[in-house]
Amino acid sequence: VDKAYDYFREITTLPTTPVDFRVSVSGLQGQQSKCRGIYLREPHHFKRSTHHLVTVDPCFPEDTSPRDKLDFTERITLVPTQPWVHSSKHIILASSGRQFSVTIDESGLEPGAHYAEVLGYGSREDKGPLFRLPVTVIMPTPLTDKFTFDCPQLQLSHSTIKRYFFHVPTEATWAELKFTSHNEVTRSKLWVHTIHLLPEKAYREKETLDSIILEPEASNTLIVPTVGGHTMELVVTQYWTEFHPLTVSFNVSFHSLRPSSNNFILHSNTSWTRLDVSCNYRLEELYPEFKLTHHCLARRPTEAVIKPLSNTRQVLIDGKQIYELRLTYNFYLSKTCEVRPNAHLLSDLLYESPFCGQLWMVYSSNKQLMGSGDAYPKNYSVKLDKGNYTVILQVRHATRSELESLKDLPITIEIKMPTYILVDISPTRCGQTKWGSTITARPGSTLPLYVFGPSDDRVSKSAGPNTSPGDFLTGTFTLSKNDLVKKKVVYPVQYILGPKASRGNSGPPKKKEKDYEGALKEFRLHWMSKGKVSPAELEEEFGDDLEFLMARLTMIEADKKNVWGEEVATIVSKIQSQVFNPSITEC
């Protein structure tokens, strides 16, 4: 404590510069934006020379004068903390910033995670570094053979974590992990955690966390989905209640039944869509299965309003006003079901989202709040009865122009269907033979699947009769016969609905309803023939109209008390002049 106190007293007397430093790295393969440090993990990071260009920019306080910025100069000494990191020795840093190169020599590193830093010291090294550049290198664990890794003995104790990194073979779609206990008496429980890091995706999208039970001298198998051509991190540890030491062995074997499309889309206007499945490493049992489970209503906003929020609470620290965009969507349900609103552009992003926040609320036609949710639509569902509903989506941002671009933001209302739809599959494009048995796929082979969309009757039975063009059905498809693989290796599928088939006459549709004027005319003539309306009231309007004249004859015929001989002759003469018109006869 005394030495720390003396150190603080010493450095407080030294002159300081109120300048921060921003460090960024460019040139990492597969990443377009600049990075905070150097992180080498994926196979393509090691295929080229690992030279990286680092930029250091000074960040001045807002009240710094231009003269002070021009006069700023700092001599920086660069010191790597590990011998496998090489950089320039010195740089002269001005207000415009400076670049230097860093080279990573990973050739002598052992498998596992390695960390180092490049420290930038000013004129007084005893004050500590002005900035730090983090460097992380993940070296893969070599496979025992091309597609397998064997660990004959692994010692585990309480709070011990064993970590492995594997470069997944390019065509692999899942890994089979087989653990064997070598304890003769004790029953054990393990946590097994795997993760892939993919660009522009949250880590949780390719993460698995499973617990397995190992009986004494017994084995247990776990299936883990993989992403070919990337690095998979495998972590094995004992459960927190396990205090006894454990000896296990495990095997990792990679398998491949790879579809030509990981996000399969069917369209109702095409008879079939082809999907190719390739088998690359070993014999696999192929049994494809496509299920459609949700009906999605596509909706555009009927109203979009942008307004500033409260100027006392909804204000950033620099005084910027926060605005809200309120979007209104309407939809109708023909039966009771569970719904899940989903704004795909904003979904599954919270802290990574460029917008301040998002919230959706579902209201009934009586303006009763039925449910609400936020950025993760899979966590929220609302059970609704038959009727009309309104979804209000609120999005916030400090820039009004950013919200203007979302005024036409579409959403989908995901409805869980009471019964799923099994899609027909055939090995031939004619569809005469349906896929009904398991096929053993040989390594290096590619098998075509012809997927046929469901009929309108099947769609109406599961999704209801009120489907419209633009709606779509979603579900999943699996390829393996193995039940464990079916649960873990799952791909999304969409079926886009088009116009329904029209059955009946192919001619022009009959006019079911007459226009208003025609219906009114027919109504008045009908009541005139019944004697309820005087013919004098309608004669000026209709005159020699054929329908009016025929109605007059009907009226005269119904009135048996009066003889209308002269009037009947006049009416008949007018009718004959129209019926036997020479121009009509010539036609």
Do the beta carbons of residue 82 and residue 42 sit within 8 Å?
no
DSSP structural state of residue 378 = G
Over the chain (587 residues), what is each successive 10-residue block's mean pLDDT?
A: 79 71 76 79 80 90 87 91 92 91 89 94 82 93 89 87 92 93 86 91 88 90 92 92 87 93 88 90 90 92 91 81 92 90 87 84 92 89 92 92 91 92 87 78 90 88 83 92 91 89 56 63 75 72 76 72 66 72 46
Tell me what pLDDT residue 585 has: 42
| pTM assigned to the model | 0.75
Phi/psi for 230 (5° steps) reads -125, 175
What's the distance, CA 313 to chain centroid?
32
* DSSP label of 313: T
In the prediction, which pLDDT does 583 show?
47
Q: How many CB atoms lie within 10 A of CB 506?
A: 5
Distance, in Å, from the CA atom of 344 to the CA atom of 376, rounded to the nearest integer, reads 10
Helix, strand, coil share (%) of the chain residues, nearest 5: 20, 45, 40
Q: Answer for the pair 293, 277: CB distance below 8 angstroms, yes or no.
A: no
> Scanning the structure block, which residue is given the tokens 């004992």?
238
- pLDDT of the residue at 179: 93
Let me know how long the chain is.
Answer: 587
Residue 498: the pLDDT is: 84
580 by Cβ neighbours in 10 Å (0-12 / 13-18 / 19+) ranks as: exposed
Q: Give the pLDDT confidence score for residue 587 in this predicted structure.
A: 37
User: Which residues, 6 or more positions from 527, have their beta carbon under 8 angstroms from its beta carbon?
Assistant: 533
Burial 51-75 (b: 16+ CB within 10 A, else e): ebebebebeeeeeeeeeeeeebebe
Q: Are 286 and 438 in contact (CB under 8 A)?
A: yes
Q: Report the 10 Å Cβ neighbour count for 505.
A: 8
CA distance 331 to 335: 12
Structure tokens at 528: 């005139």
